[in-house]
Amino acid sequence: MNNQSTPNWWKQLIRPILVLAPMADVTDCAFRRIIAKYGKPDVMFTEFVSADGLCCGGKERMLIDLKFDPSERPIVAQFFSANPEYMYRAALLAQELGFDGVDINMGCPDKKVCKQGSGAALIQNPALAKQIIRETKRGAGTLPVSVKTRLGYNKIEIDEWLPHLLEDEPAVITLHARTKKELSEVNAHWEVMTQASKMAESSATLIIGNGDVGNIREAQKLALETGLAGIMLGRAIFGNPWLFNRQLDISQISLEQKLSVLIEHTALFEKLLGGKKNFAVMKKHYQAYVSDFPGAKDLRIKLMECESAAEVSEQVNRFLDFQLNAPKNNLLMNYG
């Protein structure tokens, strides 16, 4: 699939559509390429990118956040801004770079983002939100434009908020099943999603749900129960690039396989992003890859001290050699 394909390719996807959530300093081009190799979702999103930054002198520095590989298609560029003109220009750029779609972030609860009037702050300014959708569509041309948002700002208010968005007919609305105020500190309100699905029945817009979904079996069940077109999964991808692999029993992945992919992921990060992103970004992944097995804590401590892919590879291989050769009752000993 490429950006010359049918304007609303979302409609052609088999339901439930399973989507990888955009997550800052997580779903970068290196991790997405690993995911595309081991367990590709139906749709991928970039990390969210500031349209203001792209338009106000930061373009060259920020283009790395819009780097992608054809193996990731369909790939959607996600932008945030409170400025319709900047969103128009960001959408034009998405066309130039060959993206398959453009997504508008209207759900980020970060204080700095909301202070700018963008992200979840747009829930409180539906007139501006609609103007942003229209200008993004104008810039996107034939690319489908989608919106990611929340159930409300301080309280659940989809009765008021969702109709505003539906009026301008984005291709997709992804609803995070919490309010801005709730952040991720309460359980997702999946009981509200059936209502959201019904509200969009007469619209051309697809509704996708997001929040606390741990695996694709749970995602498929929720989609069936709520009538949603699809489900977006986020935090469940940490340490598990096989998450969306329908043909694989994830419980059968060996420790050696998991740690081998950790090495591969680190090497790819260094190759694609070395010198452009801090190596410390990888360390949050190590917390997820290296857990729930004998000796994990010791290995994790050593990986947190590493500053290069070569050092990570050396530590992991030393650990595996030790585990292979040590008596089983000594596996909890420090391998270093």
Dist CA 246 CA 248 (whole Å): 6
Mark out the alpha helices in the chain (DSSP H runs).
Answer: 29-38, 51-55, 59-62, 84-97, 111-115, 126-140, 158-167, 193-199, 216-226, 255-273, 283-289, 296-304, 309-325
Coil vs helix vs strand at 262: helix
**In the numeric block, which tokens belong to residue 135?**
């200008």
Phi then psi for residue 251, to 5 deg, are: -65, -15
Instruction: Pick the closest to residue 165 from 179, 177, 149, 176 (CA basis).
Output: 149
Report CA-CA distances (Å) from 129 to 46, 82, 170: 21, 8, 12
Specify the DSSP element, H or E, that contains 109.
none
Instruction: Pick the closest to residue 143 from 80, 94, 90, 105 (CA basis).
Output: 94
Which residues are designated catalytic? Answer: 108
Dist CA 18 CA 41 (whole Å): 6
Task: List residues bridging with 68 in a β-sheet.
Answer: none
Instruction: Pick the closest to residue 87 from 113, 53, 115, 58 (CA basis).
Output: 53
Instruction: Pick the closest to residue 31 from 10, 45, 16, 19 (CA basis).
Output: 45
Coil vs helix vs strand at 126: helix
**In the numeric block, which tokens belong to residue 123?**
């829930």
Instruction: Pick the closest to residue 107 from 25, 51, 23 (CA basis).
Output: 23
